[in-house]
Amino acid sequence: KNVVISGSGLFTPTSIITNDELVASFNQYVDEFNAQHASDIANGTVEALGHSSTEFIEKASGIKSRHVLYKDGILDPKVMHPVFSRPTEEAVPEMVEMALVAAKEAMQQANKTAADIDLIICAASNMQRSYPALSIELQQQLGTAGYAFDMNVACSSATFAISNAVNAVRGGTAKVVLVVNPEFASPQVNYRSRDSHFIFGDVCTATIIEAEENCTSNNAFRIKGMRLKTQFSNNIRCEVGYTEHCFTEPDPLMPFFKQQGRKVFKELLPLVAGVIQEEMAEQQLSASDLKRLWLHQANINMNVFAVKKILGREPEPEEAPLVLDTYANTASAGSIIAFHKYKQGLQAGDHGILCSFGAGYSVGCLVLQKC
Ligand code: CO8
């Protein structure tokens, strides 16, 4: 049975933090830290912190700004994290609020109402709570029937969820699936860490997956191939979990994202290129058959490297669209934002590849064909 992505949606928070704003706040924190610890720094017991810089961030990552749900606390050198109310049982949590907006746009594109949807998958790198599942609350908010579940494969949550959706449609447990990827990343960023304070932004994407025979959308993409791969690595890690308060040695840095960026760069790229090339061989596609590459958005240099490896040449900007300049790394939502914003202009029969890569390690490659 042919299965398609018949609609996509995007929620973008209105607040933007530029590199200059982020660096100014970080450098003020550094100056205050170094002044406070001046004598320990002088006697060598504490290491002085170094300034961050807009030039470094743009050159190393390609990121110029990011959207966040709660800007103020992040930029206050005395706070340096988003500040918001604890969700109550009566209030809809942020991730569900974000998902509602993205879902409605995807449903509209796919000509679907809540009555059509019988499975919701909420797939993201972090869940705001363990249970009840956020997807089930979204199900209640939208008024859909059927069932819903949450899942997490970090940066590959969206592609792995689409693969689950395809299997549900093929297996007959669902007819129309809504996948949402509310990436509320900012609470997990250590804004006091020079190495990672610039990396992430908040966003939510959504897709509708259904059988081609039921699809009435005029901008649908057939999912021709799916290839998923995981390989364990500690190089991107977050330790936070429900056991946190039980540990004999509490660690105040536990909730944060940590990575060995260079190692990730080196180890992940061959994995990504391998998965994409294997799937291209399976689908009998050569580089010249690919009209677009909607890639994970973590680092501009990484994307350029991956695209050159796949196409065997420098890409034209529209062949492998970048959104990380204004969205930063949005974990699993990145490749879906690229798809959502740059899926126009393909002709029926044209092929493209949507590929996520990141923590796990994980790689999720979808071969898409314009219907
Ligand atoms: N300003 C100035 N200097 C800096 C800064 C800064 N902000 N940060 C680091 N430096 C310094 C370093 O200290 C280092 O100095 P020295 O040479 O003296 O030691 C120098 O600059 C070079 O540092 P790096 O080697 O770290 O610089 P890189 O060129 O490697 O760039 C990157 C760093 C941008 C992190 C790069 O390595 C990278 O992007 N790698 C790939 C990372 C990647 O793809 N990660 C995947 C992310 S995981 C994911 O996408 C989702 C995870 C789950 C979601 C979690 C939600 C929060």
- 25 pLDDT exceeds 70? yes
Q: What's residue 241's pLDDT?
A: 81
- 98 pLDDT exceeds 80? yes
The verdict on the CB of residue 187 being under 6 Å from ligand 1 is no
Whether 240 is covered by a domain: the verdict is yes
Active-site annotation holds for 155: yes
Nearest to 358 by CA among 102, 152, 87: 152
- 76 pLDDT exceeds 70? yes
Q: Which of 26, 262, 336, 357 to mutate to test the pocket of ligand 1 (most atoms within 8 A of CB)?
A: 262
Q: How far is the CA of 258 from the centre of ligand 1 (A)?
A: 10
| Residue labelled with tokens 């089930």 | 136
The CATH number for 238's domain is: 3.40.47.10
Whether 202 is covered by a domain: the verdict is no
Of the chain, the percentage scoring pLDDT greater than 70 comes to 99
Would you place residue 252 in the very low, low, confident or very high pLDDT band (cuts 50, 70, 90)? Answer: low
- The stretch 258-280 carries a mean pLDDT of 94
Q: What is the separation, in whole angstroms, between the first and last Cα of the chain?
A: 14
Whether 12 is covered by a domain: the verdict is no
Would you place residue 240 in the very low, low, confident or very high pLDDT band (cuts 50, 70, 90)? Answer: confident
The range of the structural domain enclosing residue 294 comes to 224-370
By CB atoms closer than 10 A (0-12, 13-18, 19+), residue 135 is buried
- 60 pLDDT exceeds 80? yes
- 242 pLDDT exceeds 90? no
Exposed e or buried b for every residue in 20-41, given b needs 16+ CB within 10 A? eebbebbbebbeebbeeeeeeb
Q: What's residue 254's pLDDT?
A: 67
Q: How far is the CA of 126 from the centre of ligand 1 (A)?
A: 21
- The stretch 332-338 carries a mean pLDDT of 98
Nearest to 177 by CA among 119, 137, 238, 130: 119
Cβ-Cβ contacts under 8 Å for 289 (sequence gap 6 or more): 351
Range scoring the smallest mean pLDDT among 146-160, 170-184, 259-273: 259-273
CA distance 333 to 327: 10
**φ and ψ at 3, to 5 degrees?**
-120, 140
Per-residue pLDDT tens digits for 173-182: 999 999 999 9
Read off the pTM: 0.96
- The stretch 281-304 carries a mean pLDDT of 95
Whether 130 is covered by a domain: the verdict is no
Whether 67 is covered by a domain: the verdict is no
Tokens representing residue 60 in the block: 């190393």
For ligand 1, atom 37, which residue shows the shortest CA distance? 261
For ligand 1, atom 19, which residue shows the shortest CA distance? 195
Q: What's residue 250's pLDDT?
A: 73
ipTM, interface predicted TM-score of the complex? 0.92
Whether 213 is covered by a domain: the verdict is no
Would you place residue 253 in the very low, low, confident or very high pLDDT band (cuts 50, 70, 90)? Answer: low
Nearest to 368 by CA among 275, 291, 271, 277: 291
For ligand 1, atom 13, which residue shows the shortest CA distance? 195
Q: What's residue 202's pLDDT?
A: 98
Tokens representing residue 162 in the block: 């689409």
How high is the mean pLDDT of the chain? 95
Whether 294 is covered by a domain: the verdict is yes
CA distance 337 to 333: 6
- The stretch 143-155 carries a mean pLDDT of 97
Whether 308 is covered by a domain: the verdict is yes
The verdict on the CB of residue 295 being under 6 Å from ligand 1 is no
**φ and ψ at 122, to 5 degrees?**
-100, 110
Per-residue pLDDT tens digits for 194-215: 999 999 999 999 999 999 999 9
CA distance 61 to 67: 16
- The stretch 30-44 carries a mean pLDDT of 97
CA distance 355 to 297: 10
- 221 pLDDT exceeds 70? yes
